[in-house]
Each structure stands twice: as structure tokens, then as C-alpha cells.
Amino acid sequence: MCNGFIPSICKVRICHNRNEEAWLIDSTQSLRYAQARAASAGPDVSHVLPGLGGEPYGKEYYQALLQEQEERHLSRAASLKRQIAQLKQELQEMNDKLKTLQEKKESPGPQGLVDGKDQEPSDLLEFLHSQIDKAEVSTGARIPSEYALVPFESFTTTKVYQLEMGLTRHPEEKPVRKDRRDELVEVIEAGLDVINNPDEEDGQEDDMPMQRQTFTESHFVEGLYRTERDKGTLYELYFAKENSHEFRHVTLFRPFGPLMKVRSTSVDTASTIINIIVPLSGRTEAFVQFLHNFREVCILQDKRVHLTVVYFGEEGLQEVKSSLRKMSSEESFTNYTLIPVDEEFSRGRGLDIGAHAWTKGSDVLMFFCDVDIYFTLEFLSTCRLNTTPGKRVFYPVVFSLYNPSIVYGNLELLPPIEHQLIHKKDAGFWRDFGFGMTCQYRSDFLNIGGFDLEVKGWGVEDVHLYRKYLRSDLIVMRTPVSGLFHLWHEKLCADELTPEQYRMCIQSKAMNEASHSHLGMLVFREEIENHLRKQAYKTQSRAED
């Protein structure tokens, strides 16, 4: 079937254009019929449309229908003209490229291609589909290590959240530079075209024109994209009506050419429960802060969560029980489980216990969370949208806040936590070396073998699990997320850690303290103070003279 947004193949597009031509002819006839009916209908005359239970419709209905149809057809015709012009240009470039390749293949000597291994596919459709297959659109590719994965970047209509910061770039790009803005606007418009003009294979019913819901740019929720140099750019777009739990998910791919539609599906998250699993030992004050965030976001707003707390040891256990009971009593909230464990703390062990303790059905979406994590309502939606059992797991990149005593050292009082949640390079950084916060279904966690429970203490167990998914057939979604923050706390690196764990802990401690510039000010504090004393002495000497 010839369909898709801006297909890049001549034979596909020609077939599609013939269908569009027939469609335009039918539409013109329909418009003429509706116009004649509207003209013939007087102000007091009603007509009955067949198949609608005999409900009367007057002249105003036909005029509204005519105007809507006319606008849709004009928009569609303009879009087709742009696509045809773009296609002609792309087709000419592809023909020139193929001609050059053919000449190279026919020429003898070392410049020719050997055994056909490096030959471009003769069929452009085959080539573009091979690019899509290599780009992890439908199934995951087995990746040797966490360093080989190309992460996504996330964006809204006004911001891009980027990982590759360097010393001159910011974690949040706002305003978005013009070339990137034009690209993303084109992509969003392409996604809207796919949704508002569905193909048969999209599984949407062909409603009456007056009943069909039309999506606009205001319904765009969030998007992800990543570019691989040898494949192209993959886009994942999500649209939703206001106050709706049903999302339209559009996947687009640009194989270094025109955009291609891959698929368009509906994602209903209304009944998707998230089991938030928190392993804990001590840290009761931090737990009180966590419950405050949990109450505001999960209980009062989202209302589709379950909290599982796995607590190690006896010290602080009663305070945790008391905090949970108080929250339960004040909010009439019973969807929580407290599991006391009389063992030495192990994060992997705690998460494993929490995953196995689920009894409300065989499968559930799990969010592995720490007590220092602050998340928003939007993050819970992102967690649901980017996980699919048996297909995708989600590893968001957390924005880690620096030590507020350093960041806000010039203020008498520290601002409240809610005011510290900003994406600035002096306020924090994308924690791209951390893999502890993750959304995945219980069935995938169990099938992959869970954590390596031989690992004790801090750090390495998360990387081991992440590597398992990278080497599986599941797609690993990795992207910075605007609604997920790691709150600063003093980090202690225990002597009992292995050398590898201790090195990772010290590295994390240094990265977590302050920005490059702030750390520089601390390191060179004595030099700065000497400079200030010299300047003060010079000023005083001049005044005395």
C-alpha cells in the first residue's frame, strides 16, 4: 500500500499521488453536492442525512461542513504540492547518486566494490527500510556496553534538554536556536499530518468529518530524538487532548533525506499503575521530604501509583512506619507496602525484594527510585509512555542538583527546594553516568534475571542490570528528563566498598558538589583572597597619598 508521510521512493509516491488525485476528485464532487444542498436549503427548511437516525440538519450545518471540508482539502492540496516538489528534488539527487555508484561498480581496479559487500541497495525502498531496521525502531539492537548507546534528547515546543553540555553549552537550550527550531517545527507538523490524515493501517475509524478530532500544535506533549551518523534521525512524538489519558504516539525517521512515517498508534495510560519501589536504610528526614513530594504528585494529582518501601535494619523503622501511617490517615491512601528487612543494606537486594513482593496481578510498571529523588506529574506520564512490556525499558537521565550551600552561598537563607528545581549549569548537571532510576515492567525485570545480588553496597548493581538490557532484544530508551531531579545530600564513601565502587563513589561525590566554575572558586580561594588584600592595600595607599 502506498502511504506514509513524505515517502522518499518514486514508485511509492506515484502510487500515493494517484490515490490522492482520485481523493481530490471525489472531494470536489462532495463539495459541489454539499454546496448545492446548502444553497437550496432555506432558513426554515430541514434536511435529513441518511444513517443518522433521522436527525434534521439545516443550512447552517451544510455551510459549516462545507467550510471545514474546504479548509481540509486546501491544506491537504498545499501539503501534497510541497511533498511533490520535494520529492522531485530528492529523486533527482538519488538518481545522480545511483548513477555515480553504478559507474563505480562497473569500473575495474581497486576503486570498484569488492564482492558486493559495500554496495548500496539497488532499490531505494529496500535501502531506506534497512536504515530504519538498523536504527532500533521496531526491535532493540544488542549493544556491547553502556558507552555504545546513543541517548535521546527530549524537547517541547520551547525547550530542548541536551546531554552533551561541554563548558559552553547549557543542559537546557532556551530559546532553541533557529536551525534546530525549524527542524523540530517541521517534525511536529509532520506528526500532526500523520494523526489528522490517518491511513487504514493506523487502525483509526473514519469518522464523519464533523465528529473527527483534529490535533493541533497545542496538543503536542513531548518528543524525543536522536541522530546516528550512519543511519539517520529517529523521532518519537506524543500528542494528547487536554485532560486526557489517551496519547497519540507517532514515530518518524529521517534517513538523511525526507521524513518517513514509520507508524502511528494510540497509547492509553489511564489504567497503568506505577509501583514506585524505594530501598531505604536510615535517612528518615529525607524520607519525610520524599513523602511530601509523593503526596503532592502521586496522591493528590496522579492517583495511579503504589508505593513500596523496603527498609533495612531496625534503626529508624518506627519513624518510617509513623510517617506512612500519618500520610495514609490524612489522605485516605492505602496503596503502599512497607517491607522490613533485617539485613545489611543493599540497593539491588531492596529493589529485587520490592519487585517480587507485588501481588496485584502478574505484571506492573515499576519505577526504581531513591529517597533523594524529586519527580513531577509530567515525569510519571513520561515513564508510562516510554515503557512497553516485552519491548522497551526506560532509563531517564536525572538532573542532579549541586550543593545549595555553594550555589546560593551569597544568600542569607537557602531558597525552598521547589525554587531550586531549575536547569542551569551552575545549579546542577545531567547525571549521565547514573543508571539507578529506571522504569520497566516487572515481567521484563524477571525475564532478564534481575540484579546481581552478589553485589553489595553502592553503585555497580545498576550498571550490571543496564548492561543486561543493552545486550537483549529490548529497546533501551535513554534521555534527559525535565521532571526528574536528584536532590543534593552529603555523600559518604564507606571503607567496606571495593576499589571500583570506592572510585565511583568518590567520582560521584566530586561531580555532585558544584559546577566547574564554583569548584574553581573554592580551589583558588586563597589566591583570590590574596588578590583582594593586595587590591585593598593599593586602594588605601592611594587614599593616603
The count of domains in the chain is 2
Enclosing domain of residue 160: 139-196+216-268
3-state DSSP percent of the chain in helix, strand and coil, to 5: 45, 20, 35
φ, ψ at 236 (rounded to 5°): -120, 115
Of 469, 385, 387, residue with least CA distance to 435:
469
The DSSP 8-state label assigned to residue 295 in this structure reads I
Domain boundary residue among 268, 286, 312? 268
User: Is residue 143 in a domain?
Assistant: yes
User: Domain check: are 234 and 263 in the same one?
Assistant: yes
Position 48 pLDDT exceeds 50: no
User: Domain check: are 423 and 513 in the same one?
Assistant: yes
* Residue that wins the pLDDT comparison between 361 and 418: 418
* Residue 257 binned pLDDT confidence (cut-offs 50, 70, 90): low
User: Is residue 205 in a domain?
Assistant: no
Q: What is the mean pLDDT of residues 250-257?
A: 84
User: Is residue 294 in a domain?
Assistant: yes
User: Is residue 417 in a domain?
Assistant: yes
User: Domain check: are 145 and 182 in the same one?
Assistant: yes
Sequence-separated (6 or more) residues with CB below 8 Å from residue 232: 131, 135, 253, 254, 255, 256, 257
Q: What is the pLDDT of residues 126-164, one digit of tens each?
A: 777 777 777 777 777 788 777 778 889 999 988 988 887
* Residue 167 binned pLDDT confidence (cut-offs 50, 70, 90): low
User: Domain check: are 372 and 499 in the same one?
Assistant: yes
User: Domain check: are 509 and 414 in the same one?
Assistant: yes
User: Is residue 413 in a domain?
Assistant: yes
User: Domain check: are 403 and 494 in the same one?
Assistant: yes
User: Is residue 261 in a domain?
Assistant: yes
User: Is residue 127 in a domain?
Assistant: no
Q: What is the pLDDT of residues 311-332, one digit of tens each?
A: 999 999 999 999 999 999 999 9
Q: What is the pLDDT of residues 276-325, one digit of tens each?
A: 999 999 999 999 999 999 999 999 999 999 999 999 999 999 999 999 99
pLDDT at 207: 47
Domain boundary residue among 268, 297, 312? 268
Q: Can you state the angle between helices 284-294 and 317-331, rounded to 10 degrees?
A: 20
User: Domain check: are 318 and 191 in the same one?
Assistant: no
User: Domain check: are 364 and 397 in the same one?
Assistant: yes
User: Domain check: are 480 and 398 in the same one?
Assistant: yes
* CA–CA distance, 294 with 287 (Å, rounded to integer): 10
Q: What is the pLDDT of residues 474-492, one digit of tens each?
A: 999 999 999 999 999 888 8
Q: What is the mean pLDDT of residues 26-32?
A: 50
Q: Grid coordinates standing for 464?
A: 550490571
Q: Which helix (H) or strand (E) holds 266?
A: strand 260-268
pLDDT at 106: 58
User: Domain check: are 297 and 369 in the same one?
Assistant: yes
* CA–CA distance, 297 with 376 (Å, rounded to integer): 6
3-state secondary structure of 499: helix
| CATH code of the domain in which 335 resides | 3.90.550.10
pLDDT at 11: 33
Q: What is the pLDDT of residues 424-477, one digit of tens each?
A: 888 999 888 889 999 999 999 999 999 988 765 555 789 899 999 999 999 999
User: Domain check: are 186 and 297 in the same one?
Assistant: no
pLDDT at 476: 95
Do the beta carbons of residue 442 and residue 355 sit within 8 Å?
Answer: yes
User: Is residue 145 in a domain?
Assistant: yes
User: Domain check: are 143 and 225 in the same one?
Assistant: yes
Q: Is the dihedral of CA 211, 215, 219, 221 positive or negative?
A: positive
